[in-house]
Amino acid sequence: MRANTDVKEKSARIVSSEEERLILVDAEDNDMGFMSKAECHDGNGVLHRAFSIFLFNEQGHLLLQQRAAGKRLWPMYWSNSCCSHPRERETMAVAAARRLQDELQTDSDLEFVYKFIYQASFGELGSEHELCHVFLGRIVSEPGANETEIAAMRYVSIAELERDLAETPEVFTPWFKLEWQRLKTEHADTLSRFTGCG
């Protein structure tokens, strides 16, 4: 997959660490305490709160990011526009806005769509085990990649995305594939408002 170079100048600010404390939750999304990011992702993972953001431009194209090579889990895999976690005592709204600035130097009015639990292991390096809140939004200003988090970015039409998912599913993160499938099948009306595809 080729990268899109029509973006702001890259930054290299360090915006996350393995020591930051994440919010543990139960299956109903109730707070259950806090644990370091490293511990949350060790072994099979410990269930914690997270979010995934899908950003679309005016043409209804989705912004994809390729995760940086330094990522512990799924480095250099392609994924949705932005993914992260609220930190200890941080609200979802504050966390999402912070991360859009940290990773992409942009912001968006986000629309919550659904939340779900998933678990995925990346060999012996660790796992994601998240209760993930999924948001859709419009890009307000042209994004710029933080190279400590993102190796490359590109916009894709829905047709291009479907083709790439069919032909090379192995290059995408597991959560992105799960989320996209559910958006298409269970939230098609909401998705169509952002993509322009009915």
List residues with catalytic annotation: 83, 130
From residue 193, give the alpha-carbon distance in Å to each of 104, 138, 182. Answer: 23, 10, 16
Write phi, then psi, for 7 (nearest 5 degrees): -140, 170
Closest of 46, 20, 62 to residue 164, by C-alpha: 62
Neighbouring C-alpha atoms within 13 Å toward the C-beta of 59? 8
* 8 Å CB contact between 82 and 166: no
Residues 6+ positions from 55 with CB-CB distance below 8 Å: 62, 63, 81, 82, 104, 106, 108, 136, 137, 138, 139, 143
Phi (first) and psi of residue 191, to 5 degrees: -60, -40
Nearest to 1, CA basis, from 192, 198, 197, 153: 153
